[in-house]
Amino acid sequence: LSQAARENDSLLPKMPPFDYSPPPYTGPSADEILAKRRQFLNPAIFHFFKKPLCLVDGKRQYLFDDKGRRYLDAFGGIATVGCGHSHPEVVEAVVNQIKRLQHSTILYLNPAIADFAEALASKFPGDLKVVFFTNSGTEANELALMMARLYSGCHDVISIRNGYHGNAAGTMGATAQGSYKFNVVQTGVHHALNPDQYRGVFGSDGLKYAKDVEDIVTYGTSGHVGAFIAEAVQGVGGIMELAPGYLPAVYNTIRKAGGLCIADEVQSGFARTGSHFWGFEAHGVVPDIVTMAKGIGNGIPLGAVITTPEIAKVLTYRSYFNTFGGNPVCTAAGHAVLKVIEKEQLQQNALTVGSYLKDRLLSLKDKYEIIGDVRGRGMMLGIELVTDHQLKTPAKDETLYVMEQMKDMGVLIGKGGFFGNVFRITPPLCFTKEDADFLVDVMDYSLSKV
């Protein structure tokens, strides 16, 4: 639908006003870009939309396409753009730094890198104080797994089925969804039962799922374990909060078996869950290693691992380095992100607006039989569509249809879950109540057409 068609149809929900219009777009057409993408770019196609949108501008929670149409970005660049698109303070930090020094490495000292490491470490409990920078979540998890294996002297890793940890050899091993596993040798990884409160065999009884980890240690290892890695809220896996009681029990088991506990905060970190700055905090645990990416740089490529001085020592006399990881331009962005989250009280906003949005989505569940579950916290929400409540039959085509309809009306959401039938709502944390109302009204309208 054109912007005018959206605005003039009295039946369609109206997008909240927004005080910004981008400059007119004068570049190549979307069709020309699509032709180049087909010829020159990664052929993997993600079937989110019939035709990818051509996005050319962004401001806070809104995106603009080549035709000047505005979209409410309720996916946030896959849970990445926490402060909002092209946030002026993040942009300024990047521009100032890039003008001064574009690149530096671990061989030298630089304030932008050291200052951000200090600020980041101040956000963590306990002894988590030593930061390693990477370029992505995959690299952060690869490093975390390697460090844990070196420290514990054991290769066995336990991760959770349905989790996603990245796309290199080690992280692909820890990932436990078939569609993200390719022909790569992955040894020493055991996948535990998913403490999935909607589909899992033990419902919300975290301790029963935790027993499976104990069994893996007993039957699948020598009794010695290298590491356990988990997301506090599975993102790619369909916004699944681990059952209560699960993490503390598992951490206990792993530590008794000599292993380290790794929290993958790539999606759930940086205030996204609203109630806490880090997802693991809601479970009352303190990990040995935490990995981050996505929200850390608001979209500027950056990842990080934080651990204790004691564990970090395993790399002291080894030549571990990463050419671009911790580039000063990226760390300047990261530092600005921390300041913006604090200054604009984005964690509080994620909690307040996220709770409001979740309540409104729950009211849709009462209205539409196709909604099987509404879950998540803060600005990390999931809506699972099923065609049969009893059997929990995934509603795959309907999911795509609704997303396409919503896109036409100006709302972008994501999807995920093992069956691809879960809407993922992970907007910038500056999302407003008016945005939440618009999103729910648009989803309501689209679901009514299914």
Q: Which residues bind ligand PLP (CB under 6 A)?
A: 136-138, 141, 164-166, 231, 235-236, 264, 266-267, 293
Give which of 51, 102, 105, 59 is closest to 81, Cα–Cα. Answer: 59
Instruction: Name which of 422 and 442 has its Cβ closer to ligand PLP.
Output: 422
The nearest distance, CB 241 to ligand PLP, in angstroms, is 13
What is the number of the residue whose Cβ is closest to ligand PLP? 137
Measured from the Cβ of residue 30, the count of other Cβ atoms closer than 10 Å reads: 18
Q: How far apart are CA 177 and CA 179, in angstroms?
A: 6
Instruction: Name which of 110 and 268 has its Cβ closer to ligand PLP.
Output: 268
Give which of 373, 409, 328 is closest to 203, Cα–Cα. Answer: 373
The nearest distance, CB 100 to ligand PLP, in angstroms, is 27
The nearest distance, CB 322 to ligand PLP, in angstroms, is 13
Instruction: Name which of 136 and 177 has its Cβ closer to ligand PLP.
Output: 136
Instruction: Name which of 60 and 165 has its Cβ closer to ligand PLP.
Output: 165
The first and second tokens of residue 225, run together, are: 């374990």
Helix ranges restricted to H, 41-177: 76-79, 88-100, 111-121, 137-152, 169-174
The nearest distance, CB 294 to ligand PLP, in angstroms, is 6
The first and second tokens of residue 23, run together, are: 């400059």
Q: How far apart are CA 406 and CA 400, in angstroms?
A: 10
Contact, 71 vs 410, CB < 8 A? yes
The nearest distance, CB 188 to ligand PLP, in angstroms, is 19
* CA pseudo-torsion sign 280, 281, 285, 286: positive
CA 37: distance to chain centroid? 25
Q: How far apart are CA 302 and CA 440, in angstroms?
A: 32
The nearest distance, CB 283 to ligand PLP, in angstroms, is 15
Instruction: Name which of 235 and 354 has its Cβ closer to ligand PLP.
Output: 235
Instruction: Name which of 236 and 247 has its Cβ closer to ligand PLP.
Output: 236
